[in-house]
Amino acid sequence: MSQQQGSLIEINKVAKWFGEVVALSGVTVSIGPGLTALLGPNGAGKSSLIRILCGLTSPSQGSVRVMGMDPRTSNDVRRQLGVVPQNEKLPPGVNALEFVAMAGALQGLPDPGGAARTAIETVELDPDDKRHLSSYSKGMRQRVKIAQAIVHEPRILILDEPLNGLDPRQRSRMAQLFIRLGAEGRCVLVSSHVLEEVQELSSTVLVLAEGKLAAEGDFHAIRQLLDDRPHRIRLRSSDPLKLASGLMGSATVSAVQTAGENALIIDTWTVTPFRHRLPRLAQELGIHLLEIAPLDDDLESVFRYLVGRRSA
């Protein structure tokens, strides 16, 4: 496979299965310099894809090239690769400076101690902290993992849920760091299952769901896709039948059904106009709204919809 213009990572029809379980199926995508977010719910196959990209495991089918080479075997790739794995565990009995300096030394840096200090300070930790990593909080461990990934200033950074466990301030600072690294021309791939996190990080998004690439492109186009779908909402009110008849005449609602005492379930394709129309309608009819609950607004159902839409 020839390397596409500007892309550093080429994934071609990659599938991965573990026995009967299919983790990835027919994923084809190119990733170039800059920050790219890999979005998907838990179990979507993000970590499997990341492990394949790093060479930690082989694809069951298809091929992956990083800088035109096989990441499973190439030390040239490893020289240019920084990885934050999802696993929280860090070696016991060592402090942050020793751990990050070991990473620098194994990368062949001339001054691993100095590089480790710089990397640890970049993630806003204290390189002179002598405590063992086992005594660090989850957020501190996460930042140590980021430090060991950037210590050798790699050309490609792959980060598996790197913002997990960080408080909002740290999350924002680390997101800014990733954006800066991407703006410097590095290829930065950040996985997440949180839509808002991705919104802050990147304009380029890959959506992975049920092991398949469900969508890819600009964040706003993905956001539009996520919104432009049928929504199902449960309404509880003081007079459900009166509300149902009022809704039937509304252009924002495609279906209405009763659902037990005081409750209706409505389907709408235009959720924002519906949200504006509903309180006014209730006021006009003299009805009290007791509950408005989206029934399919979790990311998993959104991603399922995207997968179905792409394969239809």
Partner 1 sequence: MIALYRIMLRTSVTRGRLIAFLAGGALLDLIAYSIRVSDFNGREVDTFALLDLAALALYVPVVALVFSTSSLGDLAQDGTLVYVWLRPVARWKVVLVALAATLTVTLPLTLGPSWLAVLLSGASDKAFWAITASVVLANLAYCAVFTGFGLRVRHALIIGLGYVVLWEAGIASLGKGPAAISIRHYAESLFAHIGNQTVPGALEADQWPSVIVLVAVTVAGVVLTTVLLTRQDVA
Least distance between partner 1 and beta carbon 39 (Å): 23
CB neighbour list of residue 81: distance below 8 Å, 6 or more residues apart: 54, 66, 71, 154, 155, 156, 157, 158
Q: If binding is defined by CB under 8 A, does position 89 make contact with partner 1?
A: yes
Q: How far is the CB of 101 from partner 1 (least distance, A)?
A: 6
Give the C-alpha separation, 4 to 10, whole Å: 8
* DSSP calls for 122-143: HTT--TT--SBGGGS-HHHHHH
Asked if 143 is part of the footprint of partner 1 (rule: CB under 8 A), the reply reads no
d(CA 46, CA 210): 10
Residue 101 or 264: the one with the smaller Cβ distance to partner 1 is: 101
Strand partners, 82: 157
In the complex, what is the shortest distance from the CB of residue 170 to partner 1, in angstroms, rounded to a whole number? 21
81 binds partner 1 (CB under 8 A): yes
Task: Name the token pair of 282.
Answer: 């209730």
138 binds partner 1 (CB under 8 A): no
| Per-residue binding letters, 218-247, with partner 1 (x by CB under 8 A) | ------------------------------
Site residues (CB under 8 A) for partner 1, limited to 93-122: 93-94, 98-99, 101-103, 105-108, 112
Among residues 4, 26, 79, 260, which is the contact residue for partner 1, using CB under 8 A?
79
Q: How far is the CB of 156 from partner 1 (least distance, A)?
A: 12
* 69 belongs to the binding site for partner 1 (CB under 8 A): no
Q: Where are the beta strands (DSSP E) in the chain?
A: 9-18, 21-31, 34-39, 61-66, 81-84, 156-160, 187-192, 204-209, 212-218, 231-237, 255-258, 263-268, 289-294
The first and second tokens of residue 14, run together, are 């990659």
- Residue 16 or 231 having the CB closest to partner 1: 16
Nearest approach, Cβ of 227 to partner 1 (angstroms)?
Answer: 37
Q: How far apart are CA 233 and CA 257, in angstroms?
A: 11
Based on the shown chain and the rule CB under 8 A, indicate whether residue 54 belongs to the binding site for partner 1: yes
How far is it, in rounded angstroms, from Cα 133 to Cα 156?
26
Q: Does 153 bind partner 1 (CB under 8 A)?
A: no
Q: Which of 92, 168, 249, 286 binds partner 1 (CB under 8 A)?
A: 92
Number of residues binding to partner 1, judged by CB under 8 A: 31
- If the CB atoms of residues 97 and 278 are measured against partner 1, the closer one turns out to be 97
The residues facing 264 across adjacent strands are 235, 258
* CA distances to 27, 78, 211 from 30, in Å: 10, 19, 17
Nearest-approach distance from CB 33 to partner 1, in angstroms: 21
51 interacts with partner 1 by CB under 8 A: yes
Distance CA 144, CA 137 (A): 11
- Point out which residues bind partner 1 (CB under 8 A): 51, 54-58, 75-76, 78-79, 81, 83, 85, 87, 89-94, 98-99, 101-103, 105-108, 112, 148
